[in-house]
Amino acid sequence: MEREHDSPTATAGRRHPDEVAQHDQPAFAGPRQGPLHHLRRIPNPVFAWLLMVPALVFLGGFTVFPAGSALWNSLQEPGLDGGVGTAYYEQMLGDAVFRRSLINNLLFSFITVPVSIAVAMLMAVLVNRKIRGRGLLRLAYFTPAMLPVVAAAAIWLFFYQPNFGVLNTIARWLGFEGQNWLGSPSTVLPALMVMMIWHQAGFFMLFYLAGLQLIPPELDEASQLEGAGRWYHFRRVTFPLLMPTTLFASIVGLANSFKQVDFIFVMTQGGPNNASNMLLYYIWQTTFPQRRPEYAAAITIVLVLILIVLALIQIRLFERRIHYR
């Protein structure tokens, strides 16, 4: 039908009703003489591709193409006349800093994401009911998520300072000894995790508030009639029904935890002794201060692979959701 529409030269006998309408009403002949007049002759599939092209050029140009060139660069042998080989990957296997960064990243991801999600779920359930000051509380929970990560990092840097930091001041009031939170390898990672949970929990809360709106209120009433407690209701009704939201938030959070390292620049620079280094920060270090772009490319490939796996899981989940609809 749209094809016919595109060809105004259709024979009079087979004229589509649309065409008749157009010819009878000169008011609609206007666009035909416009500068985009010739666009009408383009068949739909070609037209659709033309619409896609600009977006594809940029998406491909700054993700697929650089990923490909990173792969190519990482497979060069060091030296001027080196051929293709896996030298940089072998180097990576023996690199303690890389191993430390990967472990740190995994620890960071698999602790901050579940904790943030649990806190977010708690926040959403707490403010989903009609309690006094609900709007204010939502605002309080969400505001940290609006801050740039560098600012969130600065706030906690201020808190963690050994001499004038709030945390140590409180510790001293309570009679404990102050800690150099960001300066000692055993506390630096947990300290960064606390900052990140504070920063992102409110963001995930919004996903849950949206998810809670999709739960029919009859279920709540049914639980009340049955005399079920709030906790029982949460465990048996709310939590299972929020599962899609939880999966979605987990994937978003995990991906984010691999590509968000801004706070390291402000708080620790990866230290002390790489105790807070992470993959993307190490990529930056090897690229710029150390000037080893080929080695950085090899680490980039590892990071891209991690994210592709996460993306594939997400696409799977997404397809299943469509299937259920």
| Of residues 60-99, those binding other proteins (CB under 8 A) | 61-63, 65-67, 69-70, 73
Q: Closest approach of Cβ 271 to other proteins, in Å?
A: 12
Q: What are the structure tokens assigned to 247, written together?
A: 């999966």
Phi, psi of 132 (to 5 degrees): -70, 135
Residues whose CB is less than 8 angstroms from the CB of residue 216 and which lie 6 or more positions away in sequence, other chains included: none
Site for other proteins contains 59 (CB under 8 A): yes
- Shortest gap between Cβ of 216 and other proteins (angstroms)? 16
| Tokens coding 166 | 């709030």
Of 102, 109, 202, 238, which lies in the binding site for other proteins, with binding defined by CB under 8 A?
Answer: 202
Return the residue of 7, 15, 18, 320 that touches other proteins, per CB under 8 A.
Answer: 18
Query: Nearer Cβ to other proteins, position 192 or 211?
Result: 211
The token pair at 262 is: 């801004």
Residue 55 in contact with other proteins, rule: CB under 8 A: yes
**Does residue number 239 form part of the binding site for other proteins (CB under 8 A)?**
no
Residue with tokens 């390292």: 261
Find the part of the chain contacting other proteins (CB under 8 A) among 75-83, 88-96, 104-112, 126-134. Answer: 126-134
**Binders in 136-165 for other proteins, by CB under 8 A:** 136-144, 146-151, 153-159, 161, 164
Least Å from the CB of residue 156 to other proteins? 7
Min. distance of Cβ 30 from other proteins in angstroms? 9
SS3 readout for 247-312: HHHHHHHHHHHHHCCHHHHHHCCCCCCCCCCCHHHHHHHHHCCCCCHHHHHHHHHHHHHHHHHHHH
Which residue do the tokens 């950085």 mark? 296
Among 17, 79, 175, 216, binds other proteins (CB under 8 A): 17
CB closer to other proteins out of 250 and 300: 300
Residue 198 CA neighbour count, 13 Å, CB half: 18
- Could you say whether residue 39 binds other proteins (CB under 8 A)? yes
Binding piece for other proteins, criterion CB under 8 A, among 79-87, 107-115, 185-193, 307-315: 307-315
* Closest distance to other proteins from the beta carbon of 18 (Å): 5
- Are 98 and 282 in contact, with CB atoms under 8 Å apart? yes
Angle among Cα 321, 323, 56 to the nearest 5 degrees reads 70
Please state, in angstroms and rounded to a whole number, the distance separating the CA atoms of residues 11 and 113. 64
With respect to other proteins, which residue has the nearer C-beta, 103 or 139?
139
Residues 318, 325: Cα–Cα separation, whole Å: 11
**274: amino acid identity, one letter:** N
